[in-house]
Amino acid sequence: MPLVAHNDLPTFKLLSDDGHTVLSLDRAKHQDIRELHIGFLNMMPDAALQATERQFIHLVGSSNPIAQFFVYPFSLPELNRGEEAEAHIREHYFNFEELAEQGLDALIITGANVINPSLNQEPFWEPLIDIVRWAETNVASTFCSCLATHVLVKHYHDINRRHLKQKQWGVYTHKATRRDHPLLRDVNTRFEAPHSRYNDVSREQFEAAGCSVLAESADIGVHLAVSPDQFRVVYFQGHPEYGAISLLKEFKREYNRYLGGARDKLPRIPEHFFTPEGEVIAQALIAQIQESDLTSAPAFPEDDLLPHCDNTWGDTGKAIVNNWLGLVYQLTNLDRKQQFMPGVDPDDPLQLR
Please give the sequence-ordered ranges of beta strands (E in DSSP) within 56-161, or none if there are none: 67-74, 106-109, 141-145
d(CA 29, CA 333): 14
The catalytic residue among 195, 239, 250, 254 is: 239
Question: How far is 45 from 346, CA to CA, in rounded Å?
Answer: 36
What Rg, from alpha-carbon coordinates, does the chain have?
21
In whole angstroms, what is the distance from residue 196 CA to residue 270 CA?
Answer: 9
Backbone angles phi, psi at 248, to 5 degrees: -65, -45
Which is catalytic among the residues 146, 150, 174, 254? 146
Q: What angle do CA 253, 125, 247 make, to 5 degrees?
A: 20
Supply the DSSP symbol for 3. Answer: E
DSSP annotation of 298 reads P
Burial class of 286 by CB neighbour count within 10 A (0 to 12, 13 to 18, 19+): middle
Backbone angles phi, psi at 293, to 5 degrees: -75, 145
Helix (H, G, I), strand (E, B) or coil at 246: helix
* 146 included as an active-site residue: yes
State yes or no: is 37 an active-site residue. Answer: no
Active site residue 241: yes
Catalytic residue among 241, 250, 254, 309: 241
Q: Is the dihedral of CA 16, 1, 242, 205 positive or negative?
A: negative
Which residues are catalytic, by number?
146, 239, 241
